[in-house]
């Protein structure tokens, strides 16, 4: 049975074919980068950026820059190892520590389902801001848009195109907001390298929200589905990996600048919805409607990314999932929407999923690093850079500490 997520690259038989093949590969890599980036840029990303900008002011620029550098290290490690091996994360983890792949797969699927409820909620709120639509109607409409992607015969290409278009749209609209709010750009640039305040917990929180949980694997699994694998594709895989982080970083920095312009005016943000109030203060009703578009685009692309990636973690472990992958993805979206429209946003479940999400990154990254020098996984010809290995283990320690801190807080709340 053909894999609908697979994008078959042209086999070069002439110069023209080689050019076409290269263009297809670059298109898939850009699509994978946008899939990863738009998976990270969800409703939580918008709120998180607004809250931290309000708290740290221009000094938040340093946290963004530091988190981007850490994200690059994490994502380069994961994408290179998975791309060279041609195996998905759960299969690599099972090779390294038998059973770990099943734990990661179920943790990602559970976290993805719960966070997808939040994504559906964000999309519904975006429709409400734009058209005054009831939340249930906005949720169903948005879920329907996501389902249409996976009903398409070539859903991999459709997903790439969808995330690219909405990704570029979000960046363009936030650029407009930066122009409207006129932030102190020079101060932000100075603070990015000479910060007046350094908050490492904020940095690690940004890292968790950018490459934590399922997010970094969304793009990596996409390039595997597209057949961009093997040691001869290392440069392209690395390029796509850095592209994904760059897109996320650009969006984060532009959003920070847009909100900083409002904060610098001395205008307080509404704590019940900080990003919406920042957009409205910055550009009036037009700004509020722009926020609605950005929120909907961020949420619906995250719905697609979370659904695709969560099922990709299960498909190699369970034959029935692989055989009917398209319908499992659609079922995942329908289940998320049904829970939101009937139960609402289960706060306790979201908190629990968040704490588990914090443990996924250190565990998965550790399993990738242990696999990096296993010839039965990456082959005889690949040599993983020592710098990436060493810095990767440092990231494992940092993210494990952050995950433990998060879990400890959850335990204290329960008590």
Tell me the whole-structure pTM to 2 decimals: 0.91
- What confidence tier does 301 reach under pLDDT thresholds 50, 70, 90? very high
| Of residues 32, 74, 46, 388, the one with CA closest to residue 212 | 74
List phi, psi (to 5°) of 324. -120, 45
**pLDDT at residue 402 in the model:** 75
Q: What is the pLDDT of residue 40?
A: 92
Per residue in 390-407, pLDDT tens? 999 998 998 888 777 766
Region of poorest pLDDT, from 59-68, 330-339, 343-352: 343-352
| Cα distances (angstroms) measured from residue 312 to each of 100, 107, 404 | 16, 13, 27
- For the chain, the C-alpha Rg in angstroms (whole number) is 21
User: Is residue 17 within 8 Å of 10, Cβ to Cβ?
Assistant: yes
Distance CA 236, CA 84 (A): 11
CATH class of the domain defined by 25-414: mainly alpha
Instruction: Residue 83: name the closest of 222, 190, 288 by CA.
Output: 222
The structure tokens listed for 276 are 């919406």
* 131-162 per-position pLDDT tens digit: 999 999 999 999 999 999 999 988 999 999 99
Asked if residue 222 has pLDDT above 60, the reply is: yes
By CB neighbour count within 10 A (0-12 exposed, 13-18 middle, 19+ buried), where does 179 fall? middle
What integer pLDDT is reported at residue 14 of this predicted model? 46
pLDDT attached to residue 16: 44
Q: How many CB atoms lie within 10 A of CB 99?
A: 9
18 pLDDT tier (thresholds 50, 70, 90): very low
Confirm if 80 and 285 have CB atoms less than 8 A apart.
Answer: no
159 touches 31 (CB < 8 A): yes
Distance CA 298, CA 317 (A): 30
Q: Is 9:19 a contact under the CB 8 Å cutoff? A: no
Closest CA to 54 of 313, 312, 286, 264: 264
Confidence of residue 258 (pLDDT cuts 50, 70, 90): very high
The token duo for 35 is 């899939």
How many whole angstroms separate alpha carbon 129 and alpha carbon 107? 33
Decide: 257 and 53 in contact? Cβ < 8 Å: no
73 is written with which tokens? Answer: 């290290």
Q: What is the pLDDT of residue 181?
A: 96
What digits encode the pLDDT tens for the residues 77-102? Answer: 999 999 999 999 999 999 999 999 99
- Among 226, 206, 227, 208, which Cα is nearest to 216's? 208
Beta strands in 236-358 (DSSP E): none
pLDDT value, residue 393? 95
Q: Smallest Cα–Cα separation from 176: which of 294, 339, 2?
A: 294
User: Which pLDDT score is estimated for 11?
Assistant: 43
3-class secondary structure, 378: helix
- In degrees, rounded to 5, the angle at the alpha carbon of residue 44 between the alpha carbons of residues 42 and 46 is 75
8 Å CB contact between 382 and 234: yes
| Cα 69 off chain centre by | 16
Task: Tell me if residue 176 falls in helix, strand or coil.
Answer: helix
Tokens of 176: 């407009």
Residue 17, pLDDT > 90, answer no
Q: In whole angstroms, give the CA distance from residue 10 to residue 269.
A: 51
Average pLDDT, rounded, for the chain: 89
Domain ranges of the chain: 25-414
Q: CA separation (Å) from 308 to 27, 52, 215, 311? A: 19, 30, 11, 6
Q: Is 187 helix (H, G, I), strand (E, B) or coil?
A: helix
Tokens 């694997």, residue located: 217
Which three-class secondary structure string do you get for 313-345?
Answer: HHHCCCHHHHHCHHHHHHHHHHHHHHHHHHCCC
The two tokens of residue 281 are 């203060």
């Amino acid at each position: 049975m053909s894999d609908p997520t697979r994008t078959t690259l042209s086999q070069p038989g002439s110069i023209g074919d080689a050019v076409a093949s290269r263009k297809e590969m670059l298109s898939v890599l850009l699509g994978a980068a946008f899939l990863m980036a738009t998976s990270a840029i969800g409703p939580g990303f918008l709120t998180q950026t607004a809250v931290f900008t309000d708290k740290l002011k221009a000094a938040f620029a340093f946290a963004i820059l530091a988190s981007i550098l850490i994200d690059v290290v994490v994502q380069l490690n994961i994408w290179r190892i998975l791309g060279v091996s041609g195996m998905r994360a759960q299969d690599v983890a099972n090779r390294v520590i038998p059973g770990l792949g099943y734990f990661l797969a179920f943790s990602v699927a559970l976290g993805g389902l719960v966070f997808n409820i939040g994504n559906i909620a964000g999309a519904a709120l975006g429709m409400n801001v734009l058209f005054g639509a009831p939340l249930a109607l906005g949720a169903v409409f948005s879920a329907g848009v996501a389902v249409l992607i996976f009903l398409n015969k070539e859903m991999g290409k459709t997903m790439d195109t969808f995330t690219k278009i909405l990704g570029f749209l979000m960046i363009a609209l936030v650029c407009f907001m930066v122009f409207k709010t006129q932030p102190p750009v020079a101060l932000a640039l100075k603070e990015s390298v000479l910060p007046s305040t350094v908050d490492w917990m904020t940095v690690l929180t940004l890292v968790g929200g950018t490459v934590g949980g399922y997010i970094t694997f969304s793009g990596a699994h996409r390039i595997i589905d597209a057949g961009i694998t093997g040691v001869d594709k290392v440069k392209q895989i690395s390029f796509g990996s850095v592209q994904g982080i760059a897109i996320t970083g650009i969006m984060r920095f532009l959003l920070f600048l847009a909100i900083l312009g409002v904060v610098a005016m001395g205008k307080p943000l509404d704590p019940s919805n900080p990003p919406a109030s920042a957009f409205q203060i910055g550009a009036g009703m037009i700004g509020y409607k722009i926020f609605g578009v950005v929120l909907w685009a961020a949420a619906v692309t995250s719905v697609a990314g979370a659904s695709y990636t969560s099922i990709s973690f299960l498909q190699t472990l369970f034959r029935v999932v692989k055989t009917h992958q398209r319908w499992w993805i659609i079922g995942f979206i329908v289940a998320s929407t049904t829970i939101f429209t009937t139960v609402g946003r289960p706060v306790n479940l979201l908190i629990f999923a968040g704490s588990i999400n914090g443990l996924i990154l250190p565990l998965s990254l550790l399993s990738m690093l242990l696999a990096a020098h296993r010839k039965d996984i990456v082959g005889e010809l690949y040599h993983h850079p020592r710098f990436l290995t060493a810095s990767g283990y440092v990231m494992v320690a940092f993210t494990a500490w952050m995950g433990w801190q998060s879990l400890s807080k959850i335990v204290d709340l329960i008590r």
